[in-house]
Chains A and B, each alone.
Chain A
């Protein structure tokens, strides 16, 4: 057994320790707090490298380490961690990105008063996320999952003085909680069915053959296999966390948090947790010959991909656009998992993590440079003012759009599309995916045109000309840009290293695979789609960017109804307000009415009866019993005054009485003896 497995727990432990220590620091210990957080994360990164190295050396490695948490009657609850390629690659990604984002935060948060609190929360978040990654038990995963939820709540609401931030934090917390109920139910059901929550336990885990067979055999409502039902429940948790279609509403609002938080939570890690969860329980999801759960995953992902991309077209807030883009890309990942398995989805997750955090950090750099301005209509011409930011942002944008050959997004998205085309159940996801790709390229072009090209917008209300961000922010951008480009080459059809690494195979380098017929067709198709979208976007928006007034979008002029629909996010929030919230309110007022009229009436009746009885009682008391007591009291008072004469507070009288009593008793004794 490799030594590293025994020390795997240290990876989340370092940031946790940093968070704990950071919580004890005073507000003024900024340097120490930042060094603690960064140091903890750097140590975690080093350990992750070691873990990753171990998995490289042994294909298909899966080591677990379990321990007993507590005994309850005759059941033992075990926790543990696992090291396999899936965990290792996530560890690498999470620790490395977290480290870069921490460093970036040094610059971004430099002027914030609650610097130490920020790093404390960030470390806590990192620890929880790493805990999810290494967990070998659905219970431990769930614990860390909730911790992630807590710390994202804290981080989104970091500027809690802003009402919008507080509301967004609440919204994120509550919306993801809806999904988490599903996860909790699924977990309990899984425990009741398989008797363990460990994923892998030398054949006894819930994701291993014997348990899966038992789960498949069970049938529940509507003829569904138990494994499908549990999978769907678990997937609802993933939907909440990863912002899939009905539960996506919290994610754009969460942009109220500081930008590094957006990058960390909404690009790299937390939203990826949902995808990771699906990947982790993939054996359960894909159990059986006809995996219904995976079909659901695919449909939800495909719908989300197009739906969110469409919304992104009509948004004006730079971070909001990227947020919707994130939702869309998460849909892609889910779709990838559904149609192509773990490797396809995870590959897009990794590449997306790099370029999306790059985009977020770049957006943060833009906002930082524009003194907090987030509306793209008020920007423009930043290409010259912020060359580094522009260059890296462009790299990220092209990776996201899937510009052919040299950008990672191309390869990972291509994988998904290829798998979707081969999906036996339906062709619709493939077309939805292509449409999503088109929309993605379009809205990214729109954004880049408005932000970086053209003239600066009316600077009536902007305070000073924009400026380039400090090195502590641009250097992480540059590193991420390089990785956003290079990460794609790990999984090209010519050299599918990543896929085979996850599946535990060897990967040959075959350039010919690139030119296989269906593969080439697909690549040409996607290239075409991207090219059309880019040029269309450029045509429409590069002209507008030159104008100083950008109040109306060209799209709005031509298609006002569609644009309004998109700008208002398909009125999802309003629909929720009109349905879910109102239903809830109606139910509450109904409960209130019940409480007041029925239960309250009953209580009042009882109290009235009691009151009546009490009055009767009182009458009896006053007329009958009191008189007797008065008589008795008079006697007592007489005795009492006699006693009180003796008890006059003078010690000497007591002593005299005692002496008298003593001598009388003695004399009586003598007289009796005599």
Chain B
């Protein structure tokens, strides 16, 4: 079957759900961050797919969006991991369920 737009969207949805499941079900903060990166990538795939199958591929909007998204993801990963390392240094753990001092 020749791939059409919905294939990419399903792929993206699957990727997003896998990332989401990881982000909510795993203990390690690093893995949660990884899950979030996967979700971001799923969104990027959507942009590229819609650009490719869109009505006006000459506008390059999707490509641009993904380029910026990648740049911001890099910043996000750097800051996020720095935070994780700082928290680890403070508390000797990166397990999210033991980092819960901000609670009601």
Contact = CB atoms under 8 A, between A and B. Distances in A.
Question: Do A and B touch (CB < 8 Å)?
Answer: yes
Interface of A: 640, 643-652, 655-656, 659
Contact of A655 (B24, B97, B99): B24
A651 B96 contact: yes
A355 to B, nearest CB: 83
B6 interface: no
Nearest to A644: B104
Main secondary structure of the interface of A (DSSP, over half): helix
B90 interface: no
Q: Which 7 A-B pairs have the closest CB atoms?
A: A649-B103, A649-B100, A644-B104, A647-B104, A649-B102, A656-B24, A648-B103
B49 interface: no
Contact of A651 (B25, B32, B101): B32
A655 B25 CA distance: 10
Q: Which of B23, B24, B96, B97 has the most CB of A within 10 A?
A: B24
25 contacts: A644-B103, A644-B104, A645-B104, A646-B104, A647-B103, A647-B104, A648-B100, A648-B103, A649-B101, A649-B102, A649-B103, A649-B104, A650-B96, A650-B100, A650-B103, A651-B32, A652-B24, A652-B25, A652-B32, A655-B20, A655-B23, A655-B24, A656-B24, A659-B20, A659-B24
Interface string B14-28: 000000100111000
Nearest to A655: B24
A296 B103 CA distance: 88
Contact of B97 (A644, A647, A652, A656): A652
Interface in B45-104: 96-97, 99-104
B49 to A, nearest CB: 19
Nearest to A650: B100
Nearest to B35: A655
A647 B104 CA distance: 5
A645 B100 CA distance: 12
A640 B20 CA distance: 29
Contacts of A650: 96-97, 100, 103
Interface residues of B, number: 13
Interface of B: 20, 23-25, 32, 96-97, 99-104
Nearest to A662: B20
A129 to B, nearest CB: 66
Nearest to B23: A655
Looking at B96, B99, B101, which has the most chain A CB atoms within 10 Å of its CB?
Answer: B96
A648 B104 contact: yes
Interface centre among A640, A646, A647, A651 (most CB of B within 10 A): A651
A662 to B, nearest CB: 10
A664 to B, nearest CB: 15
A659 B35 CA distance: 14
Nearest to A647: B104
Contacts of B96: 650-652
B58 to A, nearest CB: 32
A647 B24 CA distance: 16
A655 B104 CA distance: 17
Nearest to B26: A652
B104 A640 contact: yes
Contacts of B103: 644, 647-650
A644 B104 CA distance: 4
A648 B102 CA distance: 7
A648 B96 CA distance: 12
Contacts of B102: 649
A341 B49 CA distance: 107
Contacts of B100: 648-650
Nearest to B97: A650
Contacts of A645: 104
Contacts of B20: 655, 659
Contacts of B32: 651-652
Nearest to A657: B24
Nearest to A648: B103
A643 B104 CA distance: 8
B14 to A, nearest CB: 15
Contacts of B104: 640, 643-649
Most chain A CB neighbours (cut-off 10 Å) among B97, B99, B101: B97
Contacts of A647: 103-104
A646 B32 CA distance: 20
Contacts of A652: 23-25, 32, 96-97
A647 B100 CA distance: 10
A650 B25 CA distance: 12
Given A643-B104, A649-B101, A655-B23, 10 more contacts: A640-B104, A644-B104, A648-B104, A649-B102, A650-B100, A651-B96, A652-B24, A652-B32, A652-B97, A655-B20
Contacts of B25: 652
A651 B103 CA distance: 10
Nearest to B100: A649
Nearest to A658: B24
Contacts of A651: 32, 96
Nearest to B101: A649
A185 B47 CA distance: 84
Nearest to B17: A659
A383 to B, nearest CB: 88
B46 to A, nearest CB: 15
Nearest to B102: A649
Nearest to A645: B104
Contacts of A659: 20, 24
Nearest to A646: B104
A655 B24 CA distance: 6
Nearest to A642: B104
A655 B32 CA distance: 11
A637 to B, nearest CB: 12
